[in-house]
Structure 1
Amino acid sequence: MPSWDDEFSKPGYRYGTEPNSFLVEMAGRLPKASRVIAAGDGEGRNGVWLAGQGHRVLALDASSVGLAKARALAEERGVPIETAVVDLSTYAPERAIADAVVLIYVHMPPAVRRAAHRNLASALKPGGLVILEAFHRDQLGRSSGGPKDPNMLFDLALLTEDFGPDIRAVHAFEGEVELDEGRGHVGMGAIVRFLGVKV
């Protein structure tokens, strides 16, 4: 299977340069100049958009190639963005430093996923938000994107267990949406959307 560095080395932006629509919808809940961790941000479409809204963004990804494109996109749009190459399975952020953690189509193996989700949530201040969109278990077999391993797909019950009692769901959705995100997510997709608040 090609690496993300290989994938992000291809011309253009795999998921486009416009932000995820659920993120745009939920970002109105963020205080001005929020500190946001955009985890698994790849080529930066979401982190750069958040920076353009005046937020202070740390974009994390395992791909240095993807983050180089994120910095280029930020420069093109005239916004500041901080990036760090990390492995989310072992990443340990400072606690209670962020107003939001954004996870847009960040799919990890189950052996590391729950710890990664809880580690990222530990970075939130009280009242901080988890904003997540990802592929649902029903996505398997569709051509609109996502992992081919069913163990890397989500449902709301799994997310609730992953984040644990410190994150209270305030918005949750499972269903179908029409995806139009670059060449990577195109067509009808089965997704899960989750907004949680740190209690």
Structure 2
Amino acid sequence: MTTSPDFLRWETRFAKPEYEFGKAPNDFLVRCKALLPASGTALAVADGEGRNGVWLAEQGLAVTSVDFSPSAQKKAAALAAERGVSITLIEGDAHTFDYPEAAFDVVAEIFTQFSTPQERPLKWAGMRRALKPGGLLIIEGYAPKQLQYGTGGPKEIEHLYTRDMLKAAFGDFDDVRIAEEERVMHEGAAHAGMSAVINLTARKPR
């Protein structure tokens, strides 16, 4: 088991009894419901305590939820049982996880902004690989203006997402939609208040 400072920080946060980001799914993910297939497979990247993976399972998808924190995954399992759905839990790091080739109809990455600039390309390359042709990619992250709000997310600007960064990584996908917004968030104690975010949906070329 890894004992890096990053792992220990997150494991400590997730070891608390309360859900750090709440039990409700991310609201941008919910707004993507109409884009989801009626059935199929989904990968929730760095899914933490499972709120987003569980919601995807509630939409009828076979969900694989990956996170490197055992405490988070225990809470994800409890949340899935509470909601009456089944998800596959894999303990793994978002950067070194062995992303299977063309295995998922949906890949969702919601606020996984612990990635350094050196790690982020590994994560995004894996996510690209894991999507089936025609598969749906969903990303939400904090934008640089979030540093002015301080209502969640990293404090280092190099961890935040920009339109140019997302275009460089996924601009060759189909149906690319990138939107920057400022909205009040209510996602547990960790994401609370007015926030500056950036969203992406896109489809892997067939």
TM-score normalized by structure 2?
0.92
SS in 2 for 1:111: coil
Residue by residue over 1:15-36, the C-alpha shift from the partner in whole angstroms, topping out at 9 and shown as x without a partner, is: 1100111111112211112200
1:157 corresponds to: 164
Q: Structure 2 matches for 1:115-194, cutoff 5 A?
A: 115-163=122-170, 165=172, 167-194=173-200
Pairwise CA RMSD of aligned residues?
1.3
After superposing the two structures, state which structure 1 stretch, 152-161 or 24-33, moved more: 24-33
The counterpart of 2:31, out of the listed 25, 35, 38, is 25
Asked if 1:96 is matched to 2:76, the reply is no
Q: Structure 2 matches for 1:66-85, cutoff 5 A?
A: 66-85=72-91
Q: Shift in Å at residue 164 of structure 1?
A: 5.3
SS in 2 for 1:99: strand
Asked if 1:195 is matched to 2:201, the reply is yes
1:114 corresponds to: 121
Asked if 1:105 is matched to 2:111, the reply is yes
The answer to whether the 8 A contact 2:50-2:76 is kept is: yes
SS in 2 for 1:15: coil
Q: Shift in Å at residue 92 of structure 1?
A: 2.4
Residue by residue over 1:45-87, the C-alpha shift from the partner in whole angstroms, topping out at 9 and shown as x without a partner, is: 0101111111100001111110110001001111000011111
After superposing the two structures, state which structure 1 stretch, 86-95 or 72-81, moved more: 86-95
Q: Distance in 1 between matches of 2:53 and 2:119?
A: 23
The answer to whether the 8 A contact 1:139-1:190 is kept is: yes
SS in 1 for 2:85: coil
Residue by residue over 1:150-195, the C-alpha shift from the partner in whole angstroms, topping out at 9 and shown as x without a partner, is: 1100111101212352x23532111211111111101100100000
Mark the runs of 5 or more structure 2 residues left unpaired by the alignment. Answer: none
TM-score normalized by structure 1?
0.95
2:43 corresponds to: 37
The counterpart of 1:57, out of the listed 42, 54, 63, is 63
Number of equivalent positions: 198
| Amino acid in the other structure paired with 1:46 | N
Distance of aligned partners of 1:37 and 1:124 in 2 relative to their CA distance in 1, 3 Å threshold: same
SS in 2 for 1:137: coil
Q: Shift in Å at residue 142 of structure 1?
A: 2.0
